[in-house]
A and B are shown apart, each in its own frame.
Chain A
Amino acid sequence: MSESNLKGRKVVLHDMCLRDGMHAKREQISVAQMVKVATALDDAGIPYLQATHGAGLGGNSLQHGFALASNEEYIAAVASRMKQAKVSVLLIPGLGTMRELQAAYDAGARSVHVATHCTEADTAPQHIAFARKLGMDTTGFLMMSHLNDAAGIAQQGKLMESYGAQTVYVTDSAGYMLPADATARVRALREVLKPETEIGFHGHHNLGMGIANSIAAIEAGATRIDGSVAGLGAGAGNTPLEVFAAVCERMGIETGVDLFKLMDVAEDVIVPMMDHMVRVDRESLTLGFAGVYSTFLLHAKRAAERFGVPARDILVELGRKKMIGGQEDMIQDTAMTMARERGVTDAA
């Protein structure tokens, strides 16, 4: 079997190495490394690549860590060297602001994921409208989409569209979804959104389902897929983009990228950059299994070392407490409370 009913479908790939991958590198990717990765991706024909702090605009903070350079420095360095790829940014209202979006635009960003938790789309109207006013390719990005059902996602996506979003994403931030979950949500969106509004899927590979979920999303009507070359991203990483591109090629889905060049970027550029092998291990599997925000992974490992409570226990507890993206402070808080209750340490 090498072709499918998806033969001839066109899908736009969006690489996340230089944004979601920042999480896996504790925000320590240098400007020079960004330029190296981005030019290689541009050369491989990737049409969009995201490049900011892992938490996006406004991300430099004690809560989310400080990167080696400002977002504007990263964006300007990358954007000025692109032959065809567009540089995108992430903006989470409550963290990033319109001032920062303007600065990112001035530095050369031309596409934005405006991200909210999957039930809070109404915190994004200003930012989506402003992105459109700047003329940016504008996406409404519904994080932790597994925490809202298909009807709820459709309603939230409709709100994003009403603010001006040209694309609405189902975002599996916890890598929790199975293909049927992706199908149901994308299908529900397709039923309510205008025909010209695109649908995207952003996966994490915590249950090894990144590719299967992305294919399910395409079958249900998605035309944009996020992934990262060699999977460099939070948790067990994003949908590994070179693998996904190979699957697309086998199925006859048209991505316009050069598969072998993408494979070379993965092997020769990204893998040597990794501080740890980004893969499904005990803790990242816990994220996918318990439905926890992928970015919590390294924070939980640090808290585990500091307070003497296993990272897996901390992650499960964060899932039970229904913590969502952005609540990284609650990782230390939870670890301290658990350590005290277990009599492990005098939580200092």
Chain B
Amino acid sequence: MKKIKCALIGSGNIGTDLIYKIKRSPVLEPVWMVGIDPASEGLARARELGLKTTAEGVDGLLPHVLEDGIQIAFDATSAYVHAENSRKLNELGVMMIDLTPAAIGPLCVPPVNLRQHADRVEMNVNMISCAGQATIPIVNAVSRVQGVEYAEIVASLASKSVGPGTRANLDEFTYTTSSAIEKVGGAKKGKALAIINPAEPPLIMRNTIYCLTESAPDQARITESILQMIGEVQKYVPGYRLVNGPSYDGNKVSVFMEVAGLGDYLPKYAGNLDIMTAAATRTAEMFAEEILAGKIKLKTAEVA
């Protein structure tokens, strides 16, 4: 079966983990990996796994986009260079999946609004943040039943799974995630908290979601909606697990989740990184399925 060819930009943990997830996909094929350091472990691993690589950044990839038929690119670099990467690749008809906090395209949480983005053939979608991917489905599961006045999420991350980029820019993480809780989660107001815990052995990612409903919560319907949503996320993140709740206290709904990764390239405790790569892969698959079925067409100079 024909697969859609992909490029991975950024040869760090996220980019490297993506190789494994994309390789498993029935509709995606990783072809290029782009880095900036010829000695990076990610590029070496990509070569071992049969990908073409360049250490010249996105400019090293551009001359090959058309001849190699690249249609989807994942950007796991930084918010600072994403806009430029996206512009260059969009010009060549390549659709961008943005794993940085740049968020120049619409925010995407697959079980909530991926369908809508695919129908509109968005050429750039943003994956928000790990905490966003892990919590917004639950906020949405409540808000689709009844109005949510306020939603707050607490993400606890293992210290070893939080890279220097996130550490140096925690405020961006807070702003991006808070805003997505409102825009995608459907809460009137959102707030995101992050805690980095250095315990050894590392703790698996935990997420707590609190929602304040506008009127007394319809417990049966909310619980059913949450359980259904968890099932949707588990389709692409099998380690997405309800630990406790939903628990009801007045208008407050509390849900306690755990996210274990698949352990592809990243360790299992790093569910925060895994849920990003899994959600990005799921997003690419939806676009790929539609392209392959002839339902949508990227604005591209047609390739083979």
- In chain B, positions 232-275 with a C-beta closer than 8 Å to chain A are 243-245, 247-248, 252, 254, 256
Q: When the two chains form their complex, are residues A63 and B171 in contact, meaning their CB atoms are under 8 A apart? A: no
Q: When the two chains form their complex, are residues B247 and A348 in contact, meaning their CB atoms are under 8 A apart? A: yes
Binary flags per residue of B137-166, CB closer than 8 Å to A gives 1, else 0: 000000000000010101010010000100
Q: When the two chains form their complex, are residues B154 and A347 in contact, meaning their CB atoms are under 8 A apart? A: no
Pick from A97, A117, A348: contact of B171, CB under 8 Å: A97
The prevalent SS among residues of B at the interface is: strand
A62-B247 contact, Cβ under 8 Å, with A125-B168, A126-B169, A326-B193: no
Residue of A with least CB distance to B175: A97
Whether A212 is near chain B, meaning CB under 8 Å from some CB there, is no
- State how many residues of chain B have any CB contact under 8 Å with chain A: 34
CB-defined contacts of A127 to chain B, threshold 8 Å: 171
Whether A323 is near chain B, meaning CB under 8 Å from some CB there, is yes
Bound CA span A25–B243, Å: 31
Q: When the two chains form their complex, are residues B175 and A327 in contact, meaning their CB atoms are under 8 A apart? A: no
Pick from B154, B168, B210: contact of A122, CB under 8 Å: B168
Residue of A with least CB distance to B196: A120
Residue of B with least CB distance to A339: B244
Bound CA span A321–B152, Å: 23
A123-B154 contact, Cβ under 8 Å, with A329-B208, A337-B243: no
Bound CA span A120–B167, Å: 9
CB-defined contacts of B191 to chain A, threshold 8 Å: 61
Whether B203 is near chain A, meaning CB under 8 Å from some CB there, is yes
Bound CA span A125–B193, Å: 18
Residue of B with least CB distance to A340: B244
A61-B193 contact, Cβ under 8 Å, with A94-B174, A122-B168, A333-B208: yes
- The residue among A62, A332, A333, A348 with the most chain B CB atoms within 10 A of its own CB is A62
- The residue among A94, A119, A322, A325 with the most chain B CB atoms within 10 A of its own CB is A94
CB-defined contacts of A329 to chain B, threshold 8 Å: 154, 206, 208, 254, 256
Binary flags per residue of A98-128, CB closer than 8 Å to B gives 1, else 0: 1100000000000000000101101101110
Q: When the two chains form their complex, are residues A333 and B244 in contact, meaning their CB atoms are under 8 A apart? A: yes
CB-defined contacts of A61 to chain B, threshold 8 Å: 152, 191, 193
CB-defined contacts of A120 to chain B, threshold 8 Å: 159, 167, 196, 198
CB-defined contacts of B164 to chain A, threshold 8 Å: 122
Q: When the two chains form their complex, are residues A322 and B208 in contact, meaning their CB atoms are under 8 A apart? A: no
- The residue among B164, B191, B197 with the most chain A CB atoms within 10 A of its own CB is B197
CB-defined contacts of A117 to chain B, threshold 8 Å: 196-198
- State how many residues of chain A have any CB contact under 8 Å with chain B: 33
Q: When the two chains form their complex, are residues B174 and A97 in contact, meaning their CB atoms are under 8 A apart? A: yes
State the Cβ distance, A67 to closest chain B Cβ, in Å. 15
Residue of B with least CB distance to A55: B193
Pick from B154, B170, B175, B252: contact of A93, CB under 8 Å: B170
Residue of B with least CB distance to A120: B196
A332-B174 contact, Cβ under 8 Å, with A62-B212, A324-B197, A347-B244: no
Whether A316 is near chain B, meaning CB under 8 Å from some CB there, is no
Binary flags per residue of A308-334, CB closer than 8 Å to B gives 1, else 0: 000000000000011111110110110
Whether B301 is near chain A, meaning CB under 8 Å from some CB there, is no
CB-defined contacts of B293 to chain A, threshold 8 Å: none
Pick from A63, A99, A330, A332: contact of B206, CB under 8 Å: A330
State the Cβ distance, B266 to closest chain A Cβ, in Å. 20
Pick from B167, B169, B193, B212: contact of A95, CB under 8 Å: B193
Whether A336 is near chain B, meaning CB under 8 Å from some CB there, is yes
State the Cβ distance, B13 to closest chain A Cβ, in Å. 17
State the Cβ distance, A89 to closest chain B Cβ, in Å. 16
CB-defined contacts of A98 to chain B, threshold 8 Å: 171
Bound CA span A147–B198, Å: 10
A323-B197 contact, Cβ under 8 Å, with A62-B152, A336-B244, A337-B243: yes
Pick from B167, B244, B247: contact of A123, CB under 8 Å: B167
Bound CA span A94–B243, Å: 23
A119-B198 contact, Cβ under 8 Å, with A95-B193, A125-B168: yes
Pick from A126, A324, A348: contact of B195, CB under 8 Å: A324
CB-defined contacts of B197 to chain A, threshold 8 Å: 117, 322-324, 327
Bound CA span A337–B256, Å: 11
Bound CA span A327–B194, Å: 9
Binary flags per residue of B175-215, CB closer than 8 Å to A gives 1, else 0: 10000000000000001011111110001001010101000
Residue of A with least CB distance to B211: A62
Residue of A with least CB distance to B197: A324
Q: When the two chains form their complex, are residues B244 and A122 in contact, meaning their CB atoms are under 8 A apart? A: no
CB-defined contacts of A347 to chain B, threshold 8 Å: 244, 247
Bound CA span A326–B254, Å: 17
Pick from A63, A99, A336: contact of B210, CB under 8 Å: A63
User: What residues make up the interface of A, taking CB atoms closer than 8 Å to B?
Assistant: 61-63, 93-95, 97-99, 117, 119-120, 122-123, 125-127, 147, 321-327, 329-330, 332-333, 336-337, 347-348
With A324-B199, A330-B208 given, can you name 16 additional A-B contacts, CB distance below 8 Å? A61-B152, A62-B212, A62-B252, A63-B154, A93-B171, A94-B170, A97-B171, A120-B167, A122-B164, A126-B170, A323-B197, A326-B154, A326-B193, A329-B208, A332-B256, A333-B206
User: What residues make up the interface of B, taking CB atoms closer than 8 Å to A?
Assistant: 150, 152, 154, 156, 159, 164, 167-171, 174-175, 191, 193-199, 203, 206, 208, 210, 212, 243-245, 247-248, 252, 254, 256
- Closest 10 interchain pairs by CB? A322-B199, A329-B208, A94-B194, A326-B195, A336-B244, A119-B198, A62-B210, A333-B256, A97-B171, A93-B170
Q: Would you mind naming 14 contact pairs between A and B with Cβ atoms under 8 Å apart?
A: A61-B152, A63-B154, A94-B196, A122-B167, A122-B168, A126-B169, A321-B199, A322-B203, A325-B195, A326-B154, A330-B208, A332-B256, A336-B244, A336-B256
